[in-house]
Amino acid sequence: MPTAPGSVPDWIDPMLARPDGGRLREGPQWAYEYKLDGYRVALRVGATGTTVLTSRNGLDLTDEFAELTGVLTAALRGHDVVLDGEVVVYNDAGQIEFGLLQQRRGRFQKHRTAGRDEPFEDVPVRFLAFDLLQFDQRLLLDQPYEQRRRQLADLPMPDPFHIAVVPSFGADELAAERLSPQRLLDRVAAEGHEGLVAKRLDSPYLPGKRPDFWCKHPLVQTREVVVCGWRPGQSGFTGTVGGLLLGAHDPDTGDLVYLGDVGTGFTRQDRDQLRDRLQPLERPRHPFASTPPREDVTRARWVEPVLVGEVRFRQFTRGDEGRLRHTAWRGLRADRSPDEVTAPQPGRPSPAPAAVTSRVTVNAGGRTLTLSNLDKTLYPDGTAKSEVIAYYSRIAPVLLPHLHDRPVTFVRFPNGVHGQRFFQKNTDASAPGWLPTVPLRGGGSRRAADVDEVVRYPLLEELAALVWAANLAALELHVPQWTVRDGTRGAPDRLVFDLDPGPGTTVVDCCRVAERLHEVLVGDGLVPVATTSGSKGLQVYAGIEPAPANGPAAYAKAVATAFERETPELVTATMAKARRDGRVFIDWSQNNPAKTTISPYSLRGRDEPTVATPVTWDEVRGCRGPEQLTFVADDVVARVSELGDLFAPVEERHALPG
């Protein structure tokens, strides 16, 4: 049916690219596009020329980028289209620079608040299209990428200053330019782009999905930096270091120049140790040859530039004010002198990251550990064991308190998540002597034959224990709802509802059930906390005063049964899988003392390194798509830096209703 006059085609939830884990996909079935550093935008043009620009999250950006409206109207001659692409801004060196786009957005928001509507002619934007999703009321989503790209290339682009098509390099294009995929990547790095996106030629377009036939390959580099200042932490990091302000020496003049900041990649111990190192070095003014932008150094505390550290980063923005972007802290470098540290320069590639050896000795929280096979791939997206260990090291400050005094069951994946997995409760003889364990009769088993079995569970109480477990490829950490003290099993101190979506339902349906649970639990004097399972479902916890062993299960069953009685078409409290079609199963039995649940902040053994992630109730109420509550390891580290420990309220104890 034709699009109504004056209207535009419907918005299409964008398809996303997966991280490739550092392994650029290669072969004749792949094509490559530049990874762009801007705002993901759908440009929708109606038959009358009406144009709407919509963000990745469905926000209307038409007014913000008004100069992009109408650029295709005359050329399309009454056809309507939906283009997927990126809005970008270029710096004076001709490179895409996200910081300029952010500054433009800040100015737009201030102007809108003040009622001003003059254009930003000094910061022009450009729309770079990389996919054609609809043409003349015909959706092209099921067509292969290669075919959609040919049709995109045939569209007229009458205004190259405002709109263009992103180059796509297939096997023929690479051969014509005497390029291999790796040489193309080298070119991308030299030109200052973020990386490449590899796309299978036969791939359809799956709205809202993150399939493995679009793989992004960001250019992650390491760089030595001079620590020139710090910001005190806020919220959960009050009293310690929130972030560092970085510098390096201009290789031509020797001047100390500002490179930006870093606020992620720290453990709590890192933050505290840096605070103690930096406080005696404080000075009244910044140490740079030129004053950094005021908005960059709010709350800064300056220090003598004598400490050298190392960061990971994806991009160095060029131009007069080069900045490191997408930074993560790696640690101090006591073996480097500040005068050796130089700033990146255009056309001078950064040194390649050091290769990971098969066995290394590390210090974790004051203990020495030997780690092995760090480059072993554990997830299909390329995530290696070294990255798993790095995640658990970074998340330790919020994870360890929730593991304290709880016997841990590992789910190990020594050959990756698609290899054989096995559960491990017993601590084997290879465990370090300092690792605390607790012997429990029955091992939590519900089988009568095992009631006399004694299982020696590990207790993960410190950073070194987490690193040791991660080195075993213990991706998943499961714990009971009770703790042990002095070798004795205690009464349950957590209540949990495990919401499992049946066939035909998703975590979105779980969210609607969780909202009802929130109301009931609050009414009963409890403080509910929601967390994703890291898989398909959702869990709702509450801290309770130690209760009789069967008390939490009885309470949870009563609530679940009442929900089933009220809305039998939406909820089931029955374990039988035949009853779950189109319903959310409220698994109240997870409160049985013999059962365990995935720990908050634990990785899961799925296709991606997803994490059981605590979420806010606003996120639960606002969830309209599963991707909104899907978080991978890097997402969770960033969330904790911003939001703190959302699971902390579970440590508060409240009486379970009688």
* Same domain for 305 and 186: no
Residue 10 domain flag: no
Residue 362 domain flag: no
* Same domain for 123 and 68: yes
Residue 656 domain flag: no
* Same domain for 538 and 444: no
**β-strands 409-412, 422-424 pairing:** antiparallel
* Same domain for 500 and 375: no
Helix axes 385-403, 268-278, angle to 10 degrees: 90
* Six token digits for residue 152: 């995109």
* Same domain for 496 and 473: no
Highest mean pLDDT pick, 79-88, 211-220, 321-330: 79-88
**In Å, what is the CA distance from 155 to each residue of 150, 152, 328, 364, 614?**
9, 5, 41, 57, 45
Mean pLDDT of 453-465: 91
* Same domain for 503 and 462: no
Helix or strand run (H / E) with residue 124: none
Amino acid identity of residue 154, one-letter, is D
Q: Which residue has the higher pLDDT, 123 or 148?
A: 148
Where is average pLDDT lowest: 275-279, 347-351, 358-362, 547-551?
347-351
* Same domain for 542 and 482: no
Residue 359 domain flag: no
Mean pLDDT of 563-568: 96
**β-strands 528-532, 538-543 pairing:** antiparallel
Judged against a pLDDT cut of 80, whether residue 278 lies above it is answered with yes
* Same domain for 498 and 458: no
Q: Confirm if 387 and 380 have CB atoms less than 8 A apart.
A: no
* Cα-based torsion angle of the residue sequence 535, 536, 542, 544 in order, rounded to the nearest 10 degrees: -70
Determine the Cα–Cα distance for residues 56 and 86; give it in Å rounded to an integer: 10
* Same domain for 460 and 372: yes
* Same domain for 635 and 567: yes
Residue 657 domain flag: no
Q: What is the distance in angstroms between the CA of the first residue and the CA of the last residue of the chain?
A: 60
Residue 24 domain flag: yes
Q: Confirm if 309 and 222 have CB atoms less than 8 A apart.
A: no
pLDDT band at 21 (very low <50, low <70, confident <90, very high): low
Which CATH number belongs to the domain containing residue 380 in this structure?
A: 3.90.920.10
CA 503 to chain centre: 27
Q: What is the pLDDT, as a whole number, of residue 494?
A: 97
CA 514 to chain centre: 23
User: Taking the model in full, what pTM does it have?
Assistant: 0.52
Q: Confirm if 16 and 183 have CB atoms less than 8 A apart.
A: no
Q: Confirm if 534 and 606 have CB atoms less than 8 A apart.
A: yes
Backbone phi, psi, residue 224, to 5°: -80, 140
Q: Confirm if 82 and 12 have CB atoms less than 8 A apart.
A: yes
Residue 274 domain flag: yes
303-326 pLDDT, tens digit each: 999 999 988 776 676 544 678 877
Given 188, 211, 234, the domain boundary residue is 211
Domain that holds residue 343: 221-353
Given 463, 489, 515, the domain boundary residue is 489
* Same domain for 143 and 109: yes
Mean pLDDT of 417-427: 89
* Same domain for 50 and 126: yes
Mean pLDDT of 145-164: 94
Determine the Cα–Cα distance for residues 639 and 618; give it in Å rounded to an integer: 15
pLDDT band at 456 (very low <50, low <70, confident <90, very high): very high
Which CATH number belongs to the domain containing residue 110 in this structure?
A: 3.30.470.30
Judged against a pLDDT cut of 90, whether residue 30 lies above it is answered with yes
Given 191, 211, 231, the domain boundary residue is 211
Count of domains in the chain? Answer: 4
Amino acid identity of residue 414, one-letter, is P
